[in-house]
Chains A and B, each alone.
Chain A
Amino acid sequence: MSWLANFFISPLGILFGLSLPALILLYLLKLKRKKQTVPSVLLWRQSLEDYTANSPFQKLKTNPLMLLQLLLLALLTLAMMRPTMNLNALRGLDYYVLLDQSASMSSTDIAPNRFAVAKRKVEELIRGMGSGDRMMLLTFGHHTSLVVPRTEDKGELLSALDRLGIVDTGTDLSEAMTILKASIGDHTERSKVFLISDGAIPDSENLFPPAVETVYEKIGEGGSNVGISRFSVTRPPTDDAGVQVFVDLTRTPDRTGPETLSLEWNNQTIDAHVFEWGEERNYSHVFQIPSVEEGVLTVSVDVEDDFALDNTASAVLESPEPIRVRIYANGFTPLARAINQIPETQVQVLPPKAYSATSETDIHVFDTWAPDTLPNDFDGVLFLGAAPPEEVGVEWGEPVDYPIVLDWNRTHPVTRGAEYRNLQVAKGNRIGLSDEFEVLLESRDLPLIYSLERGDRRFLGTTFTLVQSNWSRLYSFPITLVNSIRWLEGGASRMAEVAVFRTGEAIEIDTEIGQTEMTVINPLGEELTVSLLPDQRNFFSSTARSGEYRFLYPDGSEKVRWVNLLNEDESAITPTETLAFGEEKIEALATARPQSREIWPWLAMLALGVLVIEWWFYTRQSWV
């Protein structure tokens, strides 16, 4: 019986075989015949004698009708035992199904969309599993999810498959490969991987799938698309510079244009651009608009294509955060007044004893005094006539009287536009600088102004104090000071960059002190509660769907962040025929099927065919 169980899902179906003797019994019963009066049976009797044999045994043996019916019942009996055909072995196989749920799978080049078709394919795979077969179901977008661990339970697999939805993110298969390798281990002979995808898998050549048979079922039949692949908004620091909106578009080969690109500000069109595609697959355009206040800036390409997700991109413009500058000085310093003239700066003057390394400040200015250690968190530090802490790497030497200005760097952002010819310094200090430093203003004996970029931190220093020079009375002083503040904060471009978020990326949450929880409403309208870690940077990472995310604060205020696809790989929706993993190339298959499948439906079909033949045979006897 255990042997039977290997081949049949329902061995008890053999009980249906009892119908075979029942059929023979039916043949032993007398047939009810219709009466027909004839003039004479004389010739009929003679004909019958010629036609039939008299032996009942021979009659039973040669009755094709009964043989057909016996065959029919035997086939039905087999079918009821639900036999399976496993081409590899009696033991089942392990199937690993990787289902692509990235943004490009929402393309509608095949109805209703690629993801729905892909789900149907997976459903076919599940239904095609034979006895002993197991399946693991994974989905991948920008992350990989193990939907159902390896199981034989088709119901569980189908139920989980039914719940799956699409995400608006890019594709990253590396996690999936890691999970696969760990799951398959050494069982490579009995494992098979099904990759159900449109093939938009970036860097697949750098992925090395486990050494098992891999079937790639291509989803999609082409598709036409124009999409926004890059979008950035920059706001130069000066008020009159306006806003620059940079848009990069990509297309599928069938699109030749012309296309219209529109720019909206809070749902009102403020600019549009019509263009023709050139030879390139990409097209870039920069909108230059006057300065705008807070609101949502949306760029959209007015097309009807198979992939709507990348037709718009939005960013939220907010008032720029002030640059926090903290000046440590003994007594009066002309710096405060000068820096306050710079728009969007917030200046605080403190005595050296108020210095704290943990204070949150963008720029620290140390006037004639410097601490022993650098602050923990800062963008830039300016040392005016003070020896920087040792970790900066400046060797502070002997004073030099009246160093004479020789030359300066006219292209550096700090010294650009300034004239130092009239600068007179009463006393400076020799310093030793390594190669990573750059001298911006130099005298015959010593550097007067030096700079250093180390990671995302910037250092600027002078070897003289303001009171020992006439600099504060020269035009070069405010120019250099403004340039210094902007450079130390991160440069002009950095200051103006408006945050544009992509799906799958984490959004940093601005929290209030002591806040431990926050509610976020995602583009689907779902309210998500996010736990926050006090006194640390917090991030919100559930950004798989594109659209508007609203961060609600306890005081009733809210911040809006807009998340866009902006993924050139996903916008290129033409399905890939051949996937390259390392040096291995995998061709797309028309239909992927497990090798082990139940064959009872075929037996049942065969039985039906026999039934039709039997019917034909039976009725043929009565045909005139």
Chain B
Amino acid sequence: MPESTTKSTLLEPEFLRKLEQLSLVSRKLVSGKIRGERRSKKKGISVDFADYRNYVRGDDIRFIDWNIFGRLDKLFLKLFEEEEDLSVYLLLDTSKSMSHGDPSKFEYGKKLAAALGYLALTNYDRLAVTAFSTVHTEQLEPIRIKNRVWRLFEYLGNLSCEGETDLPSSCKDFAIRYARRGIVVLISDFLDPTGYEEALKALLSRRHEVFAIHLMDPEEVDPKYGGHLKLLDSETGEEVEVTLNSGLREVYRKKVAAYVSSLQDYCSARGIYYMSTRTDFEIERLVLDYLRRVGFVR
């Protein structure tokens, strides 16, 4: 693969080299269309011995263990673990609310998607990316080969941040479109007035292994501004008048903590892997250290 095709403005080359040492971990074994680098529940053809079983007619005689036949005079068939490819789906929130912060949640999300996508392609996983908001829903059709990684970067680089969040309909559309089981990584700020429950349910309905990554801007968690303010919703344009004093600030902080906590509880209860991160947290540390520590990558 030519070097130029893997160059990206999103991620540093050094980071990319480190990513090549890692792979995504699926705690549920999933079946793929073609043999890949993932263990499958199905016994098949590979170099890794799994078990023996009695030979029955129709079995491939190439897998008969002739050494055992010589000692026991019985035909046993060697079973090998079959390696399959893994479907990895990245869902990136591109609504207007993601544009806040420095770096913005959108930029941070794109980098995170690029890193995870690159990691998947390096391990010959099947990668599909969906960017969603009420304005547009763009797809990166599944790719599997690492030398197609430029398509991933190009796709992410062309994305823009606009429209409102509509998690339920976006996730439902995704579930309908991608029926094959796999790992779904949902990257969003989860600021949807209609809630996140329907969206996560839709993803679980297809028995995907779902990872929810909750992005938050530091200013969103602990606002630095204060005084007499007219707060303007970046997506809906809705206005709320507040006098932001220390009392209200404290109430808001608690409200944010409660929101994060309820999302986390919801995810835990349904086998969804949840992780929240602030955009001032280094993305390299997030992927190489934090995600590794929680077992999402290895």
A residues neighboring B (CB under 8 Å): 31-48, 50-52, 620-624
User: Are B191's CB and A34's CB within 8 A?
Assistant: no
Known: A39-B191, A41-B240. Contact between A620 and B97, CB under 8 A? no
Q: Return chain B residues, CB-CB under 8 Å to A52.
A: 248
- The answer to whether A47 touches B255, judged by C-beta atoms less than 8 angstroms apart, is yes
Residues of the A chain whose Cβ atoms lie less than 8 Å from the Cβ of B12: none
A40's partner among B97, B228, B239, B241 (CB-CB below 8 A) is B97
- Residues of chain B within 8 A (CB-CB) of A622 are 226-227, 244-245
Contacting pair A35 B248 (CB below 8 A) = no
Asked whether any CB of chain A lies closer than 8 Å to the CB of B42, the reply is no
- Evaluate contact between B242 and A34: CB separation under 8 angstroms: no
- Residues B193 and A44 in contact, CB atoms below 8 Å apart: no
A31 & B228 in contact (Cβ 8 Å cutoff): yes
User: With contacts A48-B248, A624-B224 known, what are 4 further pairs, Cβ within 8 A?
Assistant: A41-B236, A43-B252, A47-B255, A52-B248
Tell me if B243 and A621 are in contact (CB < 8 A). Answer: yes
Chain A residue numbers with a CB within 8 Å of B248 are: 47-48, 51-52
Contacts of B238 in A (CB 8 A): 41
Question: With the chains together, A611 CA to B63 CA distance in Å?
Answer: 94
B259: Cβ under 8 A from any A Cβ: yes
Query: Shortest distance in angstroms between B84's beta carbon and chain A's nearest beta carbon?
Result: 40
With A33-B230, A624-B226 known to touch, is A51 a contact of B247 (CB < 8 Å)?
yes
**Chain A binding site: helix, strand, loop or mixed by DSSP?**
mixed
Does B189 sit within 8 A of A, measured CB to CB? yes
Of residues 213 to 234 in B, which have CB atoms within 8 Å of A's CB atoms?
217, 220, 223-234
| A34 / chain B contacts, CB cutoff of 8 Å | 227-230
By a CB distance below 8 angstroms, the chain B residues around A41 are 231-233, 236, 238-240
Say yes or no for B256: interface residue by CB 8 A criterion. Answer: yes
Distance, CA A37 to CA B104, complexed state (A):
14
Within the assembled complex, what's the spacing in Å between the Cα atoms of A88 and B237?
A: 69
Whether the pair B225, A42 counts as a contact (CB closer than 8 A) is no
Closest residue of chain A to B235 (Cβ to Cβ) is A40
CB distance from B225 to the nearest CB of A (A): 6
Using known A-B contacts A43-B256, A44-B252, A48-B248, determine if residue A33 contacts B228 with beta carbons closer than 8 Å. Answer: yes
Contact assessment for B256 and A38 in the assembled complex, using a CB-CB cutoff below 8 Å:
no
Are A47 and B191 also in contact (CB < 8 A) when A33-B230, A34-B227, A37-B234 are? no
Tell me the bound Cα distance from A68 to B231 in angstroms: 28
14 residue pairs A–B, Cβ–Cβ below 8 Å = A33-B230, A36-B225, A36-B230, A37-B231, A37-B234, A39-B233, A39-B235, A40-B193, A40-B233, A40-B235, A42-B193, A44-B240, A621-B243, A624-B224
> With an 8 A cutoff between CB atoms, is B67 at the interface?
no
Number of interface residues of B (CB under 8 A): 39
C-alpha spacing A40/B259, complex, angstroms: 13
**How far does the Cβ of A598 sit from chain B's closest Cβ, in whole Å?**
39
B227 touches A39 (CB 8 A): no
> Once the chains are docked, how many angstroms separate the CA of A302 from the CA of B225?
76
Contact indicator B231/A44 (Cβ below 8 Å): yes
Q: Chain A residues with Cβ under 8 A from B228's Cβ?
A: 31-34
Residue of B nearest to A38 (CB): B231
Q: Contact between B246 and A620 (Cβ–Cβ < 8 Å)?
A: yes
A-B contacts counted at CB < 8 A amount to: 96
Across the interface, A35 reaches (CB within 8 A) one of B191, B223, B229, namely: B229
Is B100 an interface position by the 8 A CB rule? yes
> How many angstroms from the CA of A453 to the CA of B100 in the assembled complex?
123
Closest to B243 in A: A621
Separation in Å of the A277 CB from the closest CB of chain B? 74
- How far is the CB of A280 from the nearest CB of chain B, in Å? 77
Contact B245 A621 (CB under 8 A): yes
Specify the chain B residue showing the minimal Cβ separation from A48: B242
Q: Is B1 an interface residue (CB 8 A)?
A: no
CA distance A38 to B99 in the complex (A): 10
The winner among B191, B231, B252 for most chain A CB atoms within 10 A is B231
Interchain nearest-CB distance for A587 vs B (Å): 56
| In the assembled complex, B251 has its CB within 8 A of some CB on chain A | yes
Q: How many Å lie between the Cα of A46 and that of B247 in the bound state?
A: 14
Q: CA A621 – CA B228 in complex, angstroms?
A: 9
Tell me, in angstroms, the Cα distance from A51 to B254 when the chains sit together. Answer: 12
**Residue with the greatest number of chain B CB neighbours at <10 A, chosen from A37, A41, A620:** A41
The answer to whether A44 touches B191, judged by C-beta atoms less than 8 angstroms apart, is no
| Shortest Cβ distance from residue A36 to the other chain B in the assembled complex, whole angstroms | 5
CA–CA, A72 and B202, complex, Å: 62
Contact A50 B245 (CB under 8 A): no
Residues from chain A with a CB closer than 8 A to the CB of B239 are 41
Task: Judge whether A39 and B217 touch: CB under 8 Å.
Answer: yes
CA A621 – CA B227 in complex, angstroms?
A: 6
A42 to B230, CA, bound (A): 14
Q: Which residues of B contact A51 (CB under 8 A)?
A: 247-248, 251
Residues of A within 8 A of B243 (CB): 621
Inter-subunit contact A39/B189 (CB<8 Å) = yes
- A33, B246: Cα distance in complex, Å: 17
List, in ascending order, chain B residues with CB within 8 A of A50's CB.
251, 255
Q: A40 contacts which chain B residues (CB < 8 A)?
A: 97, 191, 193, 233-235
B229 touches A36 (CB 8 A): yes
How far is the CB of B116 from the nearest CB of chain A, in Å?
Answer: 23
Contacts of A36 in B (CB 8 A): 225, 229-232
- The CB with the most chain B CB atoms within 10 A, among A32, A47, A624, is that of A47
Residues of chain A with a CB closer than 8 A to B259's CB: 43
User: Most chain-B CB neighbours within 10 Å: which of A31, A620, A622, A623?
Assistant: A622
Query: How far, in Å, is B139 (CB) from chain A's closest CB?
Result: 25
Whether A48 pairs with B234 at a CB distance below 8 angstroms is no
In the bound complex, CA of A594 to CA of B117 (Å): 90
Q: Which residues of B contact A38 (CB under 8 A)?
A: 100, 220, 223, 231-234
**In the bound complex, how far is the Cα of B237 from the Cα of A38, in angstroms?**
10
Instruction: Report how far A35 CA is from B236 CA in the complex, Å.
Output: 15
Chain B residue with Cβ nearest A621: B245
Within the assembled complex, what's the spacing in Å between the Cα atoms of A623 and B100?
Answer: 23
Whether the Cβ atoms of A33 and B251 lie closer than 8 Å is: no
Closest residue on chain B to residue A43 by CB atoms:
B255
Q: Hey, which chain A residues are within 8 Å of B100, CB to CB?
A: 37-39
| A37 cross-chain contacts in B, Cβ below 8 A | 100, 231-232, 234
Residues of B with C-beta under 8 A to A44: 231, 240, 242, 252
How far is the CB of B82 from the nearest CB of chain A, in Å?
46
CA distance A36 to B226 in the complex (A): 10
B251 touches A621 (CB 8 A): no
Contact between chains at A47 and B234 (CB < 8 Å): no
Tell me, in angstroms, the Cα distance from A44 to B241 when the chains sit together.
Answer: 10
Q: What's the nearest-Cβ distance from chain B to residue A541, in Å?
A: 79
CB distance from A312 to the nearest CB of B (A): 75
Q: How far apart are B214's CB and chain A's nearest CB, in angstroms?
A: 13
- The docked-state distance in angstroms from the alpha carbon of A47 to that of B258 is 11
Cα(A50)–Cα(B254), bound, Å: 11
Query: Which residue in chain B gives the minimum CB-CB distance to A50?
Result: B251
- Residues on B with C-beta less than 8 A from A39 are 97-98, 100, 105, 189, 191, 217, 220, 233-235
Q: How far is the CA of A547 from the CA of B127 in the complex (A)?
A: 117
Given the complex, which residues of A lie within 8 Å of B224, measured CB to CB?
A: 624
Cα distance A620–B220 in the bound complex, in angstroms:
21
Which of B97, B230, B256 has the largest number of chain A CB atoms within 10 A?
B230
The interface residues of chain B lying within 8 Å CB-to-CB of A42 are: 191, 193, 233
Are A46 and B232 touching (Cβ within 8 A)?
Answer: no
Closest chain B residue to A40, Cβ basis: B191
Find the B residue at minimum CB distance from A619.
Answer: B227
Contact A623 B240 (CB under 8 A): no
Interface residues of B in 72-90 (CB under 8 A from A): none
B232 to chain A, nearest CB (A): 5
Expressed in whole angstroms, the Cα–Cα distance for A363 and B193 within the complex equals 133
Chain B nearest CB: distance from A52 CB in Å?
A: 8
- Given the complex of chains A and B, what is the CA–CA distance between A67 and B228 in angstroms? 19
A residues near B235, Cβ cutoff 8 Å: 39-40
Pick the contact of A620 from B223, B230, B231, B245 — CB < 8 Å?
A: B245
**B-side contacts of A621, CB under 8 Å:** 226-227, 243-246
Q: Which residues of B contact A43 (CB under 8 A)?
A: 252, 255-256, 259
A32 to chain B, nearest CB (A): 8
Look across to chain A and name the residue whose beta carbon is closest to the beta carbon of B249. Answer: A624
